Amino acid sequence: MNNTRTLVILAPLILAGAGGVLTTACGDDAGASATTDAETTGGATEAATEAATGATEGMSGTDTAGTTTGAELEEGPVRFIAFGDGGEGNEDQYRVAEAVEMICADRGCDFALYLGDNFYDDGVFAVDDEQFTDKFELPYADLDFRFYIVLGNHDYGAVVPDWTRSDFQIEYTDFSEKWYLPFEWYTWQIEHVQFFVFDTHRQMLGESTVEQRAWAEEELGKSTATWKIGLSHHPYVSNGSHGNAGHYEGLTSTLLRGQNVKDFIDELVCGQLDLYFSGHDHTRQWLEPVCGTTFIVSGAAAKTTDLERRDENPTFFEDASEEGFMWVEIVGDQMTGVFYDKDGNIDFEKTITRAEAAGG
């Protein structure tokens, strides 16, 4: 796999009531069709603009807009869904999708964060793999907004990872009206909120770690967004069966314990990002802030697994009995998160400020 990384700035977009979107991605050549290899500064090239427009063509409420500068950024609202581990195509995935549709019709949604393990158990094998239809397009057919995709461990294979499997999910961005994955890791900004997607399975197993770390250091270092939000598949802290990074599954040795993930988050996320969403554990958890950041696990889009509480992390809310999702609204300095079950019932709701997200 060619590990040459190219910085690309895509055209800003307006997504269903949100403000300007600035997308920056670094990835392998497999994703080149979604961008342009021309270096861009101070705005998008024509080729990049066409690529960004094409990725959203047909989506309700989507249009292109001029470059949004930091001084022009609005303060929300920014509304989205966060859930992961949905790649089953089963009844519960459909029920969660129906609940999302109902809540979004009532409260508004600009986009979704899709937190990995998009296709159980082995990922996809081609860009025209029928799993894209059976486990994504059909379950979410009635959700008319963009899904920002994160890659999980199962997206690379059930046991031994095949690092080329991500190519097909990246390429699929060109063929879907809602699926969006320009590279394995990328960032975008909507109004005063910037999102950073990380590939923690590659981190965990030591694949492309130098490139991903260098990209993260650069993008985090130059961000001027009010809210900074991280996304990955693997959690930093969790009371689910996988547990905390550094000793996943209760392991004390081997790469699978996730020490590389812990080190990455310790050094680049803690105290630098306000919120961090993950899946992997098929539960819903809002953990109390640690290391200057609030961590949320929302991996119950299609199934649940037990809470084992090996590390006894303090939480505001945790549940493993029902599939469901989180709805989020960010306005100014406040973030409201609501955990819903698969029938659209509210299980937990909380509003925090940025200072409170950091543990203040």
Per-residue pLDDT tens digits for 103-136: 999 999 999 999 999 999 999 999 999 999 999 9
Non-local (6+) Cβ contacts of 116 within 8 A are 84, 85, 150, 151, 152, 153, 154, 155, 232, 233, 278, 279, 280
CB atoms near residue 38 (< 10 Å): 12
The C-alpha atoms of residue 219 and residue 222 are separated, in whole angstroms, by: 5
Residue 31 in domain: no
Mean pLDDT, the chain, rounded, equals 84
Residue 42 in domain: no
The neighbouring-strand residues paired with 149 are 114
Residue 331 in domain: yes
pLDDT of 64-80, one tens digit each? 222 233 445 568 799 99
Residue 312 in domain: yes
Domain total of the chain: 1
Residue 26 in domain: no
Residue 114 in domain: yes
CATH number at 255 reads 3.60.21.10
The pTM of this model reads 0.84
Residue 256 in domain: yes
The C-alpha atoms of residue 226 and residue 124 are separated, in whole angstroms, by: 36
What does the pLDDT read at residue 146? 98
Structural domain of residue 195, as residue ranges?
A: 71-357
pLDDT of 184-220, one tens digit each? 999 999 999 999 999 999 999 999 999 999 999 999 9
What token pair was written down for 320?
Answer: 């493993």
Q: Is 152 exposed, middle or buried (0-12, 13-18, 19+ CB in 10 A)?
A: buried
The CA angle 215-216-217, to the nearest 5 degrees, is 95
